[in-house]
Amino acid sequence: MRFISSIIAPFKSPSLSDIKKNKIPIHIAIIMDGNGRWARKRGLPRIVGHKKGADALKNIVTLCKDVGIKYLTVYSFSSENWQRPQDEVSELMDLFVEVLQRELESLHKNGIKIVLLGQREIIPLRILKIFEISEEKTKDNKELLLNVAFSYGSRQEIANAAKKMCMEYKNKEFSSEENIEKIFSKFLYTSDCPDPDLLIRTSGEYRISNFLLWQIAYTELYFTKTLWPDFNKKNFYKAIYDYQRRNRRFGKL
């Protein structure tokens, strides 16, 4: 995992023609940060920023599909976010339902598969139901797998995976030839996905915030000061172009 910020990004704004087709990241993860600050800068309620953030996500999903990315994992609501003021949490829940109901048919027609990553047991039933409807409807789609990390925390994910692995392998001894890391990864929420190639965090914060801690061991990190509602095609291409200029050695020479 290499800490390289957007300050080394190219001087010009790259376009799609600058993106090398043979070096497209297979899996991109995004910490969509800055919705509240975007609204505050404009003297607007925070929920307006979250709505604009939902519009930005819709555009990025389309771009991922057009560029040829196969997996997109977005951090939409952390397990810690439940501690926010109740009014804001309630507005966010209403927004999740509204967006999923409005966009589901379009996502399905475009071959997007939706998967919920998170602690389902603590998600309100009406929210969980719309997620499960979305998962069922899109389960056979192949164009892009969209992981929505909701009520998600990586430490909780790792702890739960360890617990499940211990229960399943309670009386089993592992041989020296077995890949324990690979076995453990099967118990994570992302068991059906390759690890992210690129992690993008918006808004100028330089931390991971309990997101995919196991999975990003060798992920390239890209940080930008752009607030999530303003993250557009130009920013997206810039992140991919910067990723393609790096030499991924995975600890080798």
| pLDDT tens figures, 64-99 | 999 999 999 999 999 999 999 999 999 999 999 999
What is the reported pLDDT for 24?
96
CA distance 95 to 101: 10
More confidently predicted of 176 and 143 = 143
65, 76, 99, 56: which is closest to 235 by C-alpha? 56
**Residue 7 in this model has a pLDDT that exceeds 70:** no
**Residue 2 in this model has a pLDDT that exceeds 70:** no
Active-site residue set: 33, 81
Task: Identify the structural domains of the chain with CATH numbers, from first to last.
Answer: 6-244 (3.40.1180.10)
What is the reported pLDDT for 81?
96
What is the reported pLDDT for 40?
97
* Mean pLDDT, the chain, whole residue set: 93
Q: What are phi and psi of 13, to 5 degrees?
A: -90, 115
Measured CA distances, 216 to 2, 3, 61, 200, 220 (Å): 10, 12, 21, 11, 8
Q: What is the pLDDT of residues 207-247, one digit of tens each?
A: 999 999 999 999 999 999 999 999 999 999 999 999 999 98
Q: What would you report as the CA-atom Rg of the chain, rounded to the nearest whole angstrom? A: 19
String of DSSP letters for 118-187 = S-GGGS-HHHHHHHHHHHHHHTT--SEEEEEEEEE-HHHHHHHHHHHHHHHTTT-PPPTTS-HHHHHHTT
Q: 117 pairs with which residues across the strands? A: 149
Confidence of residue 8 (pLDDT cuts 50, 70, 90): very low
**Residue 10 in this model has a pLDDT that exceeds 70:** no
Buried b (16+ CB within 10 A) or exposed e, 149-160: bbbbbbeebbee
250, 242, 241, 248: which is closest to 21 by C-alpha? 241
**Residue 38 in this model has a pLDDT that exceeds 80:** yes
Confidence of residue 12 (pLDDT cuts 50, 70, 90): low
CA distance 115 to 148: 6
The model's pTM is 0.92
Q: 146 pairs with which residues across the strands? A: 72, 114
